[in-house]
Amino acid sequence: MTTVKCTDYKNCQDPQKLAVRSRLTNDSGIVLVLVLWLVAFLSALAFIMGRSAQADVALARYQSARIRTEGYVWSGLNFALARLKNEFSNDTADTDGNHQARIASSTTILEEAVGTGSFRLSCPVSTEADEAPATTWFQDEAARLNLNGLTANNCAVLKELLLGLGIEASMAKEISLSVVDWQDADNIPASGEQDGEDDFYMSQKRPYHSKNRPLESVEELLLVKGMTPGILDTLRPFITIFPRSGGLRVNLKTAAKPVLLALARAISATQINTNLSDADALVGKIMEYRNVSQDGTSATSTEMDAESLKLNAGEKAIFFTLMTYKSMAPEAVRFAVSAKDSYTGVQASGEFIVDLHTRAILSWQVSSS
């Protein structure tokens, strides 16, 4: 057997070495493919990790801005408390609306820069087309119907409010009576039915008792017989639970038109020689007088009487009873605080109810977007 000795590996024709060279070439191709796949995998992994890191950074930036912006809302609250202290520091309540005159001198919106953004104080109520715009950055809570002031004798006001908001008559009656039963101390239904107040609640899939105490939040109404989330959303802009004692009082100079209509209509139903048209006409005259006085200036700071309103006999009868529900001076106010971070555009908002006597926060809700 003849052995071929090759010194030039590349040009060698030795079969064995040719086979080795072929194997090495094939192995090199496989290794190259594997390396390329590994590089592609590592590149994809790096890309994914980079995107994930970017998302984490963006999320961290948003969370930081959200916390910062919500902090601006609380700064707005502290600013509002200071303004309220100054607004009412030397004020004394009287029966002629002088306290409201001082309120009416306040500005409608307050804006302040803070940190990398700003906050804004404004009145949270949305007015109807025929109502005067808000004259202050806060709203007297007595402009709303106080559910904790309802009794079996005056709960028709809530029924009329529900009717005015488009709720079906039988449901409006059931809800108004159920709200009274939920709060009063006895177990006797205000409707006069023989079943006890607890019978309905204890028959539910998850039974519970009638509370027989004042409402502690508006959302608590969802536990009351007849109430639904949709009805509550419709009712929410016109109701309050503050103050929790003291009877039903309404600020006739700032109350929304649906609240005034409900009160006037409920009164007309209890009086002779009056009807719903008298109630509607009275509220129309009150709204007109509130919006613009005879000299063209806002009338919310002036006294309202039967003579200035030019009432007929039926309207007068309702008006004089209406005045017995008049709020003499604000006890609590509601205002909204909105804030924005200039760098990120993150926004936050809050709505607060504050006791004017103690400056205590009675209710608050803050959210961000």
- Sequential DSSP letters for 68-83: HHHHHHHHHHHHHHHH
Cα 223 to Cα 356: distance, rounded to the nearest angstrom: 30
pLDDT of residue 93: 47
Write the pLDDT tens digit of every residue in 323-364. Answer: 999 987 889 999 999 999 998 899 999 999 999 989 999 999
Instruction: Delineate the domains of the chain, giving CATH numbers in brackets.
Output: 139-325 (1.10.40.60)
pLDDT of residue 290: 84
Say how many CA atoms lie within 13 Å of 278 toward its Cβ: 21
pLDDT of residue 90: 53
Is 293 in contact with 299 (CB distance < 8 Å)?
yes
Write the pLDDT tens digit of every residue in 114-169. Answer: 989 999 999 886 545 445 556 688 889 999 999 999 999 999 999 999 999 999 99
Exposed/middle/buried for 224, CB within 10 Å: 0-12, 13-18, 19+? buried
b/e burial code for range 176-189 (CB count within 10 A of at least 16 → b): bbbbbbbbbeeeeb
- Give the residue, 181 or 299, on which the prediction is more confident: 181
- Type of residue found at 198: D
Instruction: Decide if pLDDT at 182 tops 50.
Output: yes
pLDDT of residue 296: 41
Q: What is the pTM of this model?
A: 0.79
Cα 280 to Cα 73: distance, rounded to the nearest angstrom: 40
Place of tokens 């998850």: 206
pLDDT band (50, 70, 90) for residue 98: very low
pLDDT of residue 302: 60
Find the mean pLDDT for residues 273-289: 94
pLDDT of residue 311: 95
Write the pLDDT tens digit of every residue in 25-82. Answer: 566 667 777 888 888 888 888 888 777 777 777 788 888 999 999 999 999 999 999 9
pLDDT of residue 192: 76
pLDDT band (50, 70, 90) for residue 240: very high
Is 348 in contact with 366 (CB distance < 8 Å)?
yes
- Give the residue, 136 or 95, on which the prediction is more confident: 136
Is 359 in contact with 86 (CB distance < 8 Å)?
no
Percent of the chain with pLDDT over 70: 80
Instruction: Decide if pLDDT at 260 tops 70.
Output: yes
pLDDT of residue 157: 98
Q: Which of 219, 184, 225, 218 is nearest to 204 (CA)?
A: 225
Say how many CA atoms lie within 13 Å of 59 toward its Cβ: 6
Instruction: Decide if pLDDT at 285 tops 80.
Output: yes
pLDDT of residue 96: 43
Find the mean pLDDT for residues 83-98: 61
pLDDT of residue 89: 63
Instruction: Decide if pLDDT at 315 tops 90.
Output: yes
Find the mean pLDDT for residues 12-34: 64
Average pLDDT, the chain: 84
pLDDT of residue 130: 47
pLDDT of residue 261: 97
Instruction: Decide if pLDDT at 23 tops 80.
Output: no
* 250: DSSP letter: B
- Give the residue, 244 or 9, on which the prediction is more confident: 244
pLDDT of residue 275: 93
Instruction: Decide if pLDDT at 6 tops 70.
Output: no
